[in-house]
Homo-oligomer: A and B are copies of this chain.
């Protein structure tokens, strides 16, 4: 079974909103053994929506549509679909009651726009939306299935998980697509391709390898498709095993691991605690760490010392050290790491100090220059990086480099 995703909304085509829904839906479809053939974004325009529906059904059996079913007048998907499927809109008391209940819970008064949302295409199966006022709609036309969902991400996700995927699984129970993703940090894409040239040449021809670089992390994805899940899994296990033997020191995780999750697992395993002192990364490392559910088990807190005054007053960095070496220096970042570790009484700490840009660069220390330190009870290690000229990328790269340094220290620690 093949699927296509159509996302509807002018906001996508003028670039006001990034389409994050499609990637999420693609993951869920893949897990259900369904390959996504194409993702198409079109405008809130009747003819264009219809053209996209026509094209998609020549390539796929399942067409998932998001967007354009909100309460405001620019939302025309529902009317267009009713026309396309040659049906009329009828008022549904059941949908209206769901809307009243939802709005009641949130103490929002119901209005005429909401009443219109209870009008649904007569020949569609209505899929209840737990988190919003626009229900999902499932159309079955000449063995092609079309599903319309809201574009609001959490509403779409609940509809997919509770309604769409369970129904799709009943229709599609033979084909299997499997992916294994190996996450690496510490080298460059071209260099990795060189190291893995022999491995790639000897891959079974049904296995596909892809390289996905992003801010220093390179993901290696192995893909295989077939009908016998067990034998496909065996092949992927074998090939994954080879990768672990060829590049063990670059691999930090698999699939949807992240550096912050891996660091969290290590801290949990060793029952150690962590604090962070951030200057140039401005909270981004702490935000990543606390995005992991359960992080309160090992992460105690951070000092964001954006001003040098806080480096002195709160973290205990000597003013003379800052004057002599500059805030972006080995001496200062190591003292920041020690300072937060003592203040927060943790086993480990991580500290950053750099020039994120666009201002603040000098000839000796251009924008992108960053010092990162990791402190444990016995030692402090630190390293200088030069990331580049773009602020957001510098912040992200410094955050990942710091988490990876911490990971390396924790792994060494495990051997002591």
A→B interface (CB under 8 Å): 10-20, 22-30, 35-44, 48, 52, 55, 70-74, 108-109, 111-114, 133, 152, 154, 177, 179, 181, 188-191, 193-194, 200, 208-214, 219, 221, 223, 276, 278, 281-291, 293-296, 299-307, 309-310, 313-314, 343-345, 356-359, 390-393, 395
Contacts and interface: CB of A to CB of B under 8 A. Distances in A.
A212 B11 contact: yes
A301 B279 CA distance: 8
Contacts of A38: 13, 40-42, 48, 52
A56 to B, nearest CB: 11
A343 B314 contact: yes
B40 A39 contact: yes
Given A18-B19, A22-B19, A210-B10, A190 B114 contact: yes
Given A74-B211, A190-B71, A357 B23 contact: no
A11 B210 contact: yes
B10 A359 contact: no
A188 B264 CA distance: 37
A359 B296 CA distance: 10
A14 B41 contact: no
B293 A283 contact: no
A191 B15 contact: no
B306 A304 contact: no
B283 A306 contact: no
A261 B293 CA distance: 29
A299 B306 CA distance: 7
B179 A14 contact: yes
Given A15-B27, A152-B213, A301-B307, A293 B357 contact: yes
Given A14-B223, A283-B286, A300-B309, A22 B36 contact: no
